[in-house]
Structure 1
Amino acid sequence: MKRLPPLPALRTFWITAQCCNFTRAAEQLHITQGAVSRQIAGLEEQLGYPLFIRLARGLALTAEGREWLPQVEKVFGLISEATEQIGRTRQTLQLKAPSCVMRWLLPRLLQWQKERPDVPVKLTASLQHGVDFQREPFDAAVIYGPPPDHSPGALHLFDEQLTPVCSPQLLKGSPALNSPRDLQNHLLLHPTHDIQDWSVWLDAAGLQLANLSSGQHFETLDQAMSMASHGTGVAIGDWSLIGDDLDAGRLVMPFALKVKTGLAYYVVVPQDAEPCAPLQQLMDWLVEQAWSR
């Protein structure tokens, strides 16, 4: 295979051919005029034919030089395109998500980074359930709520399904927890400051409990689940979000009833935005993870 010309010499030819002047080429390349002249001369010697005609004032391309120029421009264009594409591939994706989904999302993003270290993700947690892409610089967001009519490209992850959970020890202990009515004898743990989640489930179960308002309230679902896993009481949680805890046996479902609220979790991108390939791959992967349960 014939020895290829050195890349610096090709770049010097490319710049010099654009201005046809050693002095101006040297200024653009930040080297001396003599260095430009020597690189061009060395390139011509290697190729075996001249690329420039030396004139009294400046330079002119030879026939071979004119043939070479578009090919060299193509080479540097491909290098520039590849550099930009790889840079985009490795650009950190900015993802926003509500704190209530972190129990499900964080382990999966850690797994994603193991499988795809070439696509780093920065996750920002928020107490807000939505996102305002016009004011917030995120590439995508996981949102919680009704189906988003403003985002036709939204991908559905899973529906909210409320169900009581507790520790295995509490389920086996005393007082008994054999039927939903036995909840009257246990401390109810609320993942929010209101009683909405427990009320929705109890309504579906056809129950009214006197101790509904006297339970323990928490700032986040994670806190409520943590207390429940230690046997403090019975928490109400989203079956989809706490699946890992159920699979690991840290929590158990004392009853089979799961109540859909009509709300769900979605992955969305800015309206009318076309996700880059790595972002689309991440979104599709999250959907696969959600649907695999």
Structure 2
Amino acid sequence: MKRLPPLPALHTFLITAQCCNFTRAGEQLHITQGAVSRQIAGLEAHLGYPLFHRQARGLSLTQQGQALYPRIEEVFELIGEAVEHASIRRTPLQIKAPTCMLRWLLPKLIAWQTLRPDVPVELTSSVQHGIDFRREDFDAAVVYSPLPGPKRVGQHLFDELLTPVCAPHLLEGPNAINALRDLEQHTLLHPSRDQRDWTHWLSAAGAQLSSIRQSQYFDTLDLAVTVAVQGNGVAIGDCTLIEEDLKAGRLVMPFDLNVRTGAAYMLVGSTRNEPSAPLRELMDWLVKQANTKPAATD
């Protein structure tokens, strides 16, 4: 098998064939006209046939040059595609989400990496529920949208649906939770200082927060739910965010009442750039995962 010509010489031939001019080819390649001429002459010597007709008004491809040009062009297009593809594989997608979303989102991303190990994802959590793509360098984010209506931005994942949750053993024994009044014997775990989640649910249930003597406050829903898993109180949780804990038996729902707040979790892409194909695929997959979850009842 004859030794292949050097790749730089083939690239010089490609650019020169497009320009049919040594000077313009040199400008594109950032080398001198003489260097282009020498590389072409060396390539012709290696191949054993001329590639260009040297004419007073410029260059034109020989028959052999015309046959070689489209194949070399195709080769360099394939090289460019390979380099771009390799770059996409190495660069992880950067996703931001509220800390409370980790209980739902993290298992989904682990499943995604099993399906698509060629599209790595890096997840950053924050106690903040929003995103500012002008200042934050993320490809996409899950955001909490507290208000319903058409002003919501992004793809809908799921609505917020609140219900009390506790460790299974709190449904047994002398202080078992069987009715609303039994909550008075337990500590309510609040995911925020404003008490809005528990207030919203108790109001729908026909009770008042003032009747509950013991409360403990946390900065995030995730912390409140973690303490509930440990059996140290009753948390108010979102049915979707805690579904894995319910399936695993770490938590139970002592009441059948689930209350919609009008809020929702949305998936938004960066406004700085058009989403890449892998990002679009991941976002569509997450939306599908959210839409195929078991439906909760009010």
Q: TM-score under structure 2 normalisation?
A: 0.81
SS in 2 for 1:256: coil
Aligned to 2:156: 156
Check whether the contact 1:99–1:127 (CA below 8 A) recurs between aligned residues. yes
Aligned to 1:116: 116
Alignment size in residue pairs: 284
- 1:42 maps to a residue whose letter is H
* CA–CA separation in structure 2 for the residues paired with 1:232 and 1:269: 38
- Distance of aligned partners of 1:42 and 1:271 in 2 relative to their CA distance in 1, 3 Å threshold: closer
The question of 1:248 aligning with 2:244 is answered: no
Q: CA deviation at 1:283?
A: 1.0
SS in 2 for 1:266: strand
Q: How does 1:1-293 map to 2 (within 5 A)?
A: 5-6=4-5, 8=7, 10-14=10-14, 20=22, 37-43=41-47, 45=48, 49-52=49-52, 60-64=59-63, 66-67=65-66, 68-88=68-88, 90-145=90-145, 146-147=147-148, 149=150, 154-212=154-212, 214-271=214-271, 274-293=274-293
Check whether the contact 1:26–1:33 (CA below 8 A) recurs between aligned residues. no
Identity of paired residues, percent? 51
SS in 2 for 1:103: helix
* CA–CA separation in structure 2 for the residues paired with 1:164 and 1:139: 34
Query: Cα deviations across residues 174-214 of structure 1 (Å, max 9, x unaligned)?
Result: 31211112101111111122211110000000012445464
Query: Cα deviations across residues 128-150 of structure 1 (Å, max 9, x unaligned)?
Result: 21112222222211011234755
Q: CA deviation at 1:162?
A: 0.7
Q: CA deviation at 1:252?
A: 0.4
Check whether the contact 1:98–1:127 (CA below 8 A) recurs between aligned residues. yes
- Distance of aligned partners of 1:186 and 1:133 in 2 relative to their CA distance in 1, 3 Å threshold: same
Question: Which 5+ residue runs of structure 1 have no aligned equivalent?
Answer: none
Q: CA deviation at 1:7?
A: 6.1
* CA–CA separation in structure 2 for the residues paired with 1:276 and 1:27: 34
Check whether the contact 1:12–1:39 (CA below 8 A) recurs between aligned residues. no
Q: CA deviation at 1:91?
A: 2.9
Q: CA deviation at 1:116?
A: 1.0
Check whether the contact 1:89–1:278 (CA below 8 A) recurs between aligned residues. no
* CA–CA separation in structure 1 for the residues paired with 2:63 and 2:83: 29
SS in 1 for 2:77: helix
Q: CA deviation at 1:51?
A: 1.7
* CA–CA separation in structure 2 for the residues paired with 1:26 and 1:206: 78
* CA–CA separation in structure 2 for the residues paired with 1:221 and 1:184: 21
Q: CA deviation at 1:286?
A: 1.0
Query: Cα deviations across residues 213-247 of structure 1 (Å, max 9, x unaligned)?
Result: 64011122221111111111111111110000000
Check whether the contact 1:155–1:287 (CA below 8 A) recurs between aligned residues. yes
Q: CA deviation at 1:33?
A: 9.0
* CA–CA separation in structure 2 for the residues paired with 1:119 and 1:181: 51
Check whether the contact 2:187–2:234 (CA below 8 A) recurs between aligned residues. yes
Check whether the contact 1:161–1:260 (CA below 8 A) recurs between aligned residues. yes
Q: TM-score under structure 1 normalisation?
A: 0.82
SS in 1 for 2:160: strand
* CA–CA separation in structure 1 for the residues paired with 2:152 and 2:197: 27
Check whether the contact 1:194–1:217 (CA below 8 A) recurs between aligned residues. no
- Distance of aligned partners of 1:220 and 1:93 in 2 relative to their CA distance in 1, 3 Å threshold: same
Query: Cα deviations across residues 93-148 of structure 1 (Å, max 9, x unaligned)?
Result: 12111112111111211221122111111222122211122222222110112347
Q: CA deviation at 1:61?
A: 4.9
